[in-house]
Structure 1
Amino acid sequence: MLAAGEGSRLRPLTRNRPKPMLPAATKPILEHVFDQLIDVGISDIVVVVGYRRDRVQSYFGSSYRNASLTYVDQGKQLGTGHAVLAAEAAADGTCLVVNGDQIADSRIVRDVLEAHNSDAAATVGLLYASSIEGYGGVLVEDGRITTIVEDPSDGRDYLLNVGIYVLDSAAFDAVRAAEPRAGEHLLVDGLSELIERGDVVRGAVSEGTWVDATYPWDLLDVSVELFDTGVVDGDSGANVHEEATVHDSAEIRDPVVVDRDCVIKPGSVVGPYVCLGENVTIGSNAVVEHSVVDTDTRIGANATVVECVTGTGVAIGPGSTVPGGPSDVRVQDRIFEDEDFGALLADRVRDRGSVTYDPGTLVGPNVEIQAGATVRGIVDEETEVRS
C-alpha cells in the first residue's frame, strides 16, 4: 500500500495530514482502500508511509478489521518506484501493490488478481476512461501491455492505469534497474523496463469504480461518485449515526452521511450530497448542500454553505455564506475555469459571522475572519481577515 505522499495539489488541506487521510464521505480515503482489499480476502498489508506518517499510524494502529498492518517508512518521497522498493524486504514473493490515495472498488482488485498468472512478471489494473489527463496511460495488444506512460499526449486510445499492480520479483529488479527521472524512481518506468526486456506485463481491464481527488474540489466529486455507485449508502435512514441528534424540524435530503455526535438544529436543511464528519454541529435554519464537512466543525445559525470542503475544527459563523460555484480557481501555477466549487476552509479556520466567501476561495489553516468580511482568492495560513 503506497501511502507516503502529501498530495501537494490538495493544499492547504494537506498542510497537517497526508492525502490518504483526507475524507471521502466521512472516512479517510485510505480506510476505503483497506475495506476494498479486505473484502477480497487480503489479510496482511504493508503500508509505505512518509509525509505525516504519524497521522496514518496513530489512526489505524497495527490492525484494521482483523487485517495485519505493517508500516515501512519511505523517508524521502522519491517516487512510486522508490516506495515499492522500500517495501521489498517486507514483501513475500509475488505481491499486490495499491495506491493508498485513490479508491478502487473490490471488483477492480479482484479482476487484477484473477488476471495474473505465472507467465507474467506484472499485471496492471485498467479502465476505459473518457479522459486520462494527468494520469497513466496504457496500450494493450492481446492482453499484453505494449506501452505504459505517464500523462500521454499523442492522441492514441489509451486505457487508464488505476494504480493497482501484481508484481513478482522480476518487477522489483526492473524498478531498481530503471533510470530515475528528475531524481525520482517511477514504478511505470520499471514496468517499461520489463516490456523492453520482453517480459510479459498483462493488462486487466475492469468495469469497477475508481475515484481520485487531485484538487480540493475533487473531494466533492468523490463523495458524489461514492454515493451514486453505492460504495457509500446515502440513505438517511441508514446513514445517520444513532449517536447523532437531528431535530424534528430539520430536513435531511438524501444522499447524506451524518457521523456520530453530530447535532443538526431546528429548521436546518442538510443535503443532498452532504457528508458530516464526527461531532459537527449545524445551527438553526442553516442550509448545507453538496459539501464535505470534516470533524469538529461548527456551522452557525442561518448560514448557507454550498459546494464547500472544510478541514477539521472549522467555525463558520452565523449568517455566513458560501454560495457555491462556478468559479475560477488558482492552484499552484494553474488556473482552473468554471469549477463548481464554493470554498475550501482548511483546519481551524474561524469566521465571526456574516462573512461572504466568493466562489473558488481557498483559506489556509488557522485563519481568523472578522464579522462582515468578504473573502476571495487565496488566503494564507495564520492570517487575519478584517471587514
Structure 2
Amino acid sequence: MDSISAVVLAGGEGSRLRPLTHYRPKPLLPAATTPILEHVFDQLIEAGVTDITVVVGYKRQRVQSHFGSTYRNIPLTYVTQDHQFGSGHALLAADGTVEGPMLVVNGDQFVESAIIEDVLEAHDGDNAVATLGVLNRMDLDPYGGVVLEDETVTAVVENPDDDRSYRLNAGVYVFESEIFEAIRDAESRAGEQSLTDGIAELLDHGEPVRGTVSDGVWVDATYPWDLLDVSFELLESGVVDEKRAAPVAETATVHESAVIRDPVVIAPDCEVGAGAVVGPFTCLGENATVGSNAVVERSVIDSDTRIGANATVIDCVTGVGVTIGNGTAIPGGPGDVRVGDRIFEGERLCALLGDRVMDRGGSTYVPGAVIGPDVSVEAGATVHGTIAEDTEVRS
C-alpha cells in the first residue's frame, strides 16, 4: 500500500499490572528500558506509516507530555477516550480524525514491523473492508482467536473454548471506514464495545474480512511477570540493539572489577559499583545504581532506582525511584502471585516493587511479593504477599 495513517489505541490503564500503573498508563511501562509505546511508534515508522493518531485516556497527560506533537519527524495527533469502554469504543474516538483505509494497532503490545507490513500488503480495499494479522500460536489465553479459511476470516472469538482451529489475533488491523458503523451496531457486552464485536458485525452482514498469517516478534505484557518476558524477548531478538549503539550507554559508569553478563541493556547515567554482577537478562533504566558486590539477574530495573551494596536481586521488576537497601535478598522465583482476586501459581517473579518503595536493607523477599508504591520496608523485614501502597513493613 501507499502511505497510510495509523491509529494507536493507548487509552487503557493496564489494571492487571498494578501497582506499576498506579501513576502511569501501561503504554509507558518499560520494555527493556524504553516505553512500550515508543517501540510501537518505531515499528510503525519502519513499516512506512506517515502519520499517527494516538487514542489516549488513562493518565493521558503522561503520554502527551512524554512524546509531544511529533516523534521522529512523524506528526502525532491525540484524541481522547474519556472513559475506557473497550477497544472498539477507543477506535470510535478517532472517527472524524482518520478515514479508511487505516492501520490500527494496540499501544501496549510490541509488534514487529514485519507483521505490520504483511497486513498492509494483504489488504485490498476493493475486496475487503478489514484485514487482520494472525499468528500461529498454540496458547491463545487471554487473547482472541481467529478462524481462517484460506485468506478469509470466518469467525473472531474472545477466549475461544471450542475445538475449532484458531490462530491468535495479533491486534494488527487495516480497516475501511465501515468499521465505525459496525462497532456502533454491534451489541455491547458488559457495557463495553470491542473491536472484535465490530468485526463480527461485519461478518454477520456478509462483508469481506481477510486474514494474513505472519511471523515475527509479538509480545504482550498482561501480568507483572510478563514485563520480564517482554524485555527478555526484545534482548534476544536484537530489537534493543537496533535502538542503541551498544548495550552499555556511553554515559554509564561501570567499575573495572564489575562483571556484565550479556544480554543486558544499561541506560545512560547508570552506575555499577566494584565487584557487582549485572546480567544476564537484565535491564537498568536511566540513572540506576548498582552498589558494590551486588548481584542483579533476570530483572527489569526502572529509572532512578538504587540497589545497595551486597544486595541480591533476581527475577525482579521495579518502578521508578525505588531503593533496595544494602544486603537485601530478592532471591528469585518461582512464586505464587496475586493479581486482583486471582492467585497465579509458580510464576517466575520474585518481587514487584512499585514506584518509590524504600527498602532500608537486610530484608528478605518471599517469591511472589507485590509491593505497592510509597511502601517503607524496615531493615531486616521479611516481605511476602501483596502490600498496599503507603504501608510500613516492620521487621
Q: 1:283 aligns with which of 286, 291, 294?
A: 291
Counterpart amino acid of residue 297 in structure 1: T
Greater CA deviation, 179-188 or 230-239?
230-239
Indicate if the aligned counterparts of 1:236 and 1:252 stay in contact, CA closer than 8 A: no
Whole-angstrom CA distance in 1 between matches of 2:146 and 2:29: 28
**Matched residue, 2:389:** 381
Q: Secondary structure at the match of 2:96?
A: helix
Q: Percent identity of the aligned residues?
A: 63
Superposed, 1:93-104 pairs within 5 Å as: 93-104=100-111
Q: 2:317 aligns with which of 309, 312, 315?
A: 309
Whole-angstrom CA distance in 2 between matches of 1:237 and 1:185: 43
**Matched residue, 1:113:** 120
Structure 1 residues 113 and 368 mapped into 2: Cα distance closer, same or farther (>3 Å)? Answer: same
Counterpart amino acid of residue 168 in structure 2: L
**Matched residue, 1:221:** 229
**Matched residue, 2:24:** 17
**Matched residue, 1:89:** 96
Superposed CA RMSD: 1.2
Deviations 1:232-264 (A, max 9, x none): 239998211001101100000000000000000
Counterpart amino acid of residue 69 in structure 1: L
Superposed, 1:161-176 pairs within 5 Å as: 161-176=169-184
Superposed, 1:231-270 pairs within 5 Å as: 231-233=239-241, 238-270=246-278
Whole-angstrom CA distance in 2 between matches of 1:103 and 1:236: 17
Q: 1:357 aligns with which of 354, 365, 378?
A: 365
Shift, 1:112, TM fit: 0.3
Q: Secondary structure at the match of 2:82?
A: coil
1:48 and 2:75 matched: no
**Matched residue, 1:339:** 347
Q: Secondary structure at the match of 1:341?
A: coil
**Matched residue, 1:194:** 202
1:182 and 2:156 matched: no
Whole-angstrom CA distance in 1 between matches of 2:18 and 2:164: 32
Q: Secondary structure at the match of 1:112?
A: helix
Q: Secondary structure at the match of 2:21?
A: helix
Shift, 1:337, TM fit: 1.0
**Matched residue, 1:207:** 215
Whole-angstrom CA distance in 1 between matches of 2:200 and 2:63: 31
Q: Secondary structure at the match of 1:257?
A: strand
Unaligned runs of 5+ in 1: none
Counterpart amino acid of residue 78 in structure 2: Y
Shift, 1:93, TM fit: 2.7
Q: 1:292 aligns with which of 281, 286, 300?
A: 300
Normalised by the size of structure 2, how large is the TM-score?
0.96
Deviations 1:18-61 (A, max 9, x none): 11010000000000000000011112000000000111111100
Normalised by the size of structure 1, how large is the TM-score?
0.98
Shift, 1:373, TM fit: 0.3
Indicate if the aligned counterparts of 2:99 and 2:176 stay in contact, CA closer than 8 A: no
Length, aligned pairs only: 387
Whole-angstrom CA distance in 1 between matches of 2:301 and 2:385: 20
Whole-angstrom CA distance in 2 between matches of 1:262 and 1:176: 49
Indicate if the aligned counterparts of 1:234 and 1:256 stay in contact, CA closer than 8 A: no
Structure 1 residues 153 and 352 mapped into 2: Cα distance closer, same or farther (>3 Å)? Answer: same
Q: 1:326 aligns with which of 334, 340, 360?
A: 334
Indicate if the aligned counterparts of 2:337 and 2:345 stay in contact, CA closer than 8 A: yes
